[in-house]
Amino acid sequence: MSEPKPTTSTRRLTFLITGCSSGLGLTLSRIVLGHGHNLIATSRNPARTPDLVAEVQSRGGRWLKLDVDDPASGSLIDSLEKGGTHIDVLVNNAGYSIHAPVETFTEEELRRMMETLYFGPARLIRAVLPYMRQRRSGVVVNMSSGAGLEGSESMGGYAAAKAAMDGMMKVLGKEVAPFGVRTLTVQLGAFNTNMPNAATCGKIPMPDDYKGSPVDKVADLITGGTFNPDGDQEKAMKAVYEVVVGEGVGAGRESERMLPLGRDLAVRLRQVQDGLAHAMEVFGEVCNNVYLETRVKSSSASSY
């Protein structure tokens, strides 16, 4: 078994990217094509973006229909692989968010977010891994969020789904490294995409107690059309591309499994670090003293 090898752009790679109809997925798709790689762009409904489909196809890429919520979505990867298209890089990017206090989320809303942000990517990962493992090469990339590390108010469902996938990726990276397969979790802050347009409020009206609270303010900021993040998606996706192929900022860093992006994300990371350090400062002694005491036979016990 071998350790993950650099995935350099000296050879033409095939990327399969979900959620390409706008934002980060579209930006990364254009970068991939611009560097001469093979692209399989996907979206739930390609008919809604005919100009983008035509653009990708005119540059040598393919655009396929893929609904990551579909329990049979992994069959697309099987069909491509068996047809001779070998996927070198899988990028799970499709996503959206619903904002509400945790107590008012409906079961359906929580399951929908978990379906798109956790089960969907997990299906595609499980579908592509056997092929990558057999070839002893490949990269699985998940576009995650700082919400999974330190979520803001109103993001309880979204944060839970992102944290679930982050947890799987931490384990997956260890499991597939011996087969030359890499994983990369991209922890994203807020960027100048259409994510606010894909964000909605929960169906159940917010209880009066929450009116004017941080939950109300954050939800209104993100879904009300006034959210104006300073993250540059072009710069972010350039960094993702370079880390995947081992160029630029990614040169010599092919073994890294987490890529943090965004000034606001840096703040969240510090909050997480400080929170963990605080917990150990307060409860460190307790943490280290809840072990089983060594059992010693009573000296009064009879011996034979």
Mean pLDDT computed over every residue of the chain: 92
All domains of the chain in start order, with CATH: 14-287 (3.40.50.720)
Position 301 scores a pLDDT of 54
Supply φ then ψ for residue 275, to 5 degrees: -65, -40
Instruction: Answer yes or no: is pLDDT of 175 > 90.
Output: yes
Q: Given 9, 21, 73, 144, which residue is catalytic?
A: 144
Instruction: Answer yes or no: is pLDDT of 7 > 70.
Output: no
For 246-288, what is each residue's pLDDT tens digit?
Answer: 999 999 999 999 999 999 999 999 999 999 999 999 999 999 9
Query: Which amino acid is present at 258?
Result: M
Q: Given 73, 97, 137, 162, which residue is catalytic?
A: 162
Question: Does residue 144 carry a catalytic annotation?
Answer: yes
Q: Given 118, 158, 210, 241, which residue is catalytic?
A: 158
Position 1 scores a pLDDT of 42
Position 242 scores a pLDDT of 98
For 127-140, what is each residue's pLDDT tens digit?
Answer: 999 999 999 999 99
Question: Does residue 65 carry a catalytic annotation?
Answer: no
Confidence of residue 296 (pLDDT cuts 50, 70, 90): low
Question: What's the pTM value of the predicted model, to 2 decimals?
Answer: 0.91
Query: Which amino acid is present at 190?
Result: A
Give a three-class secondary structure readout of 243-302.
Answer: HHHCCHHHCCCCCCCEEEECHHHHHHHHHHHHHHHHHHHHHHHHHCCCCCCCCCCCCCCC
Mean pLDDT to the nearest integer, 34-50:
97
Question: Does residue 241 carry a catalytic annotation?
Answer: no
Classify residue 195 as left (phi > 0), alpha (psi -120 to 50) or beta.
Answer: alpha
